[in-house]
Amino acid sequence: MNRIQSKLQENKKLLSIYFTAGYPNIDDTVPIIQDLEKNGVDMIEIGLPFSDPLADGPTIQDSSTAALKNGMTSEVLFNQLKDIRKTVSIPLIIMGYFNPMFQYGVEAFCKKCQELGIDGLIIPDLPVDVYHENYQSIFEKYGLINVFLITPQTSDERIRYIDSISNGFIYMVSSASTTGAKSGFGDEQTEYFERIAKMNLKNPQVIGFGISNNDTFTQATKHAKGAIIGSAFVKFLKANGPKAIKDFVHSILK
């Protein structure tokens, strides 16, 4: 069983943290992953920086730009992660855009992920039907879970299609905007969370976008299996550096 699937079976609400590989400094990737696990994070999304990150808000865009300037590439990331499974056991997911994976070679990229112990990929700009028709067999060959995003605008029909070809979790985007921390969720978002929960999908849902503190984490996980924090953590890293990770995680899980 894939590590993501095992983690989803645990009787707890899950905290997943996103950060950009190679940020704030090129060599911070592995220490950040190790510290996040040590302090109780359940899953980690490692952002592969890209020059045109359409789904990301300004905080993550800025971190991508900085990481690229630092010299981060697919090859550098793979080299950094070559021994990661000697020290880290929680699920690791690479989140990135399709172009760098396509340039690397989709099968070669997936094979490398399997060798390193990566459990899944999140590719916001890879349409679900293109994946289903052209790439699903490759992902399955290398034991990788592909995680799809849904938004409040995604039709029920589309959600059920995504659910039918998924085998991990569904990434529920909390709003129709780009990523970024918010202070709380309104009635409209809460109704959306409840509506999806009532669909009884076979894959659990994890909510992302707009989660930044204990309150929003608690609100989101009332209706879903877990929540993802990205922008708020990247901002924290910029302000405090990787050495203060314990403070951030404990403020969410208090």
Q: What residues act catalytically?
A: 45, 56
- CA dist 214 and 30 (Å) reads 25
Spatial contact of 49 and 67, defined as CB atoms under 8 Å apart:
yes
Q: Residue 99 gets which letter from DSSP?
A: H
- CA dist 43 and 243 (Å) reads 19
| Residue whose entry in the numeric block shows the structure tokens 């510290």 | 35
Alpha-carbon dihedral sign for residues 3, 108, 141, 204: positive
44: helix, strand or coil: strand
Closest CA to 60 of 177, 174, 164, 157: 177
